[in-house]
Structure 1
């Protein structure tokens, strides 16, 4: 049985990404044919800092550039290189040299310091592919799709617009065809019928309209946010839509911090990622857990097979 080829975007070289790539290669290479987007000089420098051997079958797709790695320090050079690595991985997919992209963690401030306009991988892909990419995170036990992602909390309420929300539901349906999906309200108590806010009226209208277009009641809600992730509720739902970042990810990470993954939906390529940051506090100490990375690769393989 042929193993799929997966392009590995190396992430921010000041953090734990390259450690995960090197230390997990033996396990990853049993699942797929990984191609790491990094050049020989940067790889050798990182391996020396880690006191790690570079496996003989560690296949690379060279990414131009060389600089001194600043361990656990936010800097523009690492940010730019992480971006270039990601773009190389996308290129490998678009030229059919790879079947999916798996990304190791970037540092958003480093991207900003490098003068990049994007807030992260999903934002970049949304603009690059001109598609409304959907960020979904989780495990097979609980996935959370985010309606808004990396936006200030004060802007969330104004972002809840009927047409945009309905299209989000329809796009999510195209990726998740049959499963019931619980949609969280925005306000405490889901607004208490307008007492604590009226955004739920917009959410309800979008749910009803999307379900009518789909032909069955796939989206359920709006659900009171503080009970949505209770055990009795999660018995009936594996998929949730959160109105904003922390509403969905705080409970997810409390329950599944080590094993959850980030999956990008509604795109022309398969892309999954670790669901954690650069972990500067343990960078280059050979302490990083590879569970999310392994699950990201497994999720990518599953999506390849189902596409």
Structure 2
């Protein structure tokens, strides 16, 4: 692909104390064959990171300057690193809003570092909802399996009360609008999908939401509620590529057990394209040159795919 036709991708570098910069430097040559990455970081901080990694900065490593020359503390949860990762992401989103780039790809932040920095958001998706006043949907996975989360970063005790008919129908409508006419498996909330009310009644709401959306669409695209502990068996995965989980670990534990290295995070129902790696800051291996680039490369490729 020629330089003139490569999509421009804003890359927010994530927590500078984690593996984000290592991944960006390692993967730059490969991703530059298909996209023109613009990294949201300043040169002084990039030089510090490259020196710690004993890596060379490529000549075509294009930067969008983000202020803040901070000390890098590998593997440390830091208020200043949290603040910088926030501003790196905000810069990337601003570039997309101004149509200076075609998409945004994010490297991992640390939620506790954001909290220490006084940032009110729990993560990227919450922030995107606020910026665009749209109910962004978090979907993670790869071509073999995608899992969308009805609830995300909330306490487990708050999940059941969040399962309301109105919210769930709206979620299913937004999800269908984002992915089109695909068969989607919707998980129940309770063990055994409630066992007809013996183990919980939320499945009644889930069933009604599925019926409502299928009637509105005039076709049976949403199936369920499926029993959660068998939803991701080979038999079910042979029937469905798209799943909706009622809460974070219900969907992401099986996904990451199956496809940890290759999965990506995709934000749906937004006016911009945003994808991300599907892993954390990996503080335990930060600046040790052990980081895997596969999820990042897949996130770049997913962003390009969404542009078509």
Task: Please report the TM-score for the alignment, with normalisation by the length of structure 2.
Answer: 0.98
Instruction: Please name the residue that 2:296 is paired with.
Output: 293
Instruction: Please name the residue that 2:143 is paired with.
Output: 140
Asked if 1:54 is matched to 2:60, the reply is no
CA distance in 1, matches of 2:27, 2:176: 34
Instruction: Please name the residue that 1:43 is paired with.
Output: 46
CA distance in 2, matches of 1:170, 1:263: 17
State the 1:202 CA deviation: 0.4
Asked if 1:163 is matched to 2:166, the reply is yes
Q: Secondary structure at the match of 2:63?
A: coil
1:113-168 CA deviation, whole Å, 9 max, x = no partner?
A: 00000000001101111100000000000000000000000000000011000000
1:245-298 CA deviation, whole Å, 9 max, x = no partner?
A: 000000000000100000000000000000000001110011101000000000
Which residue among 173, 179, 194 is the counterpart of 1:176? 179
CA distance in 2, matches of 1:214, 1:267: 21
CA distance in 1, matches of 2:197, 2:226: 14
CA distance in 2, matches of 1:131, 1:94: 14
Which residue among 135, 154, 176 is the counterpart of 1:151? 154
Task: Please report the TM-score for the alignment, with normalisation by the length of structure 1.
Answer: 0.99
Which residue among 294, 297, 303 is the counterpart of 2:306? 303
Instruction: Please name the residue that 2:264 is paired with.
Output: 261
CA distance in 2, matches of 1:182, 1:143: 10
Q: Secondary structure at the match of 1:186?
A: coil
CA distance in 1, matches of 2:10, 2:300: 10
- Structure 1 residues 6-45: aligned runs within 5 Å: 6-45=9-48
> Is the CA contact 1:170–1:210 (under 8 Å) kept in the aligned structure 2?
yes
CA RMSD of aligned residues (A): 0.6
Aligned residues: 305
CA distance in 1, matches of 2:57, 2:229: 47
* Uncovered stretches (5+) of structure 1, i.e. residues with no partner: none
Q: Secondary structure at the match of 1:30?
A: coil
Q: Which runs of 4+ in 1 moved over 6 A?
A: none
- Structure 1 residues 1-307: aligned runs within 5 Å: 1=1, 2-305=5-308
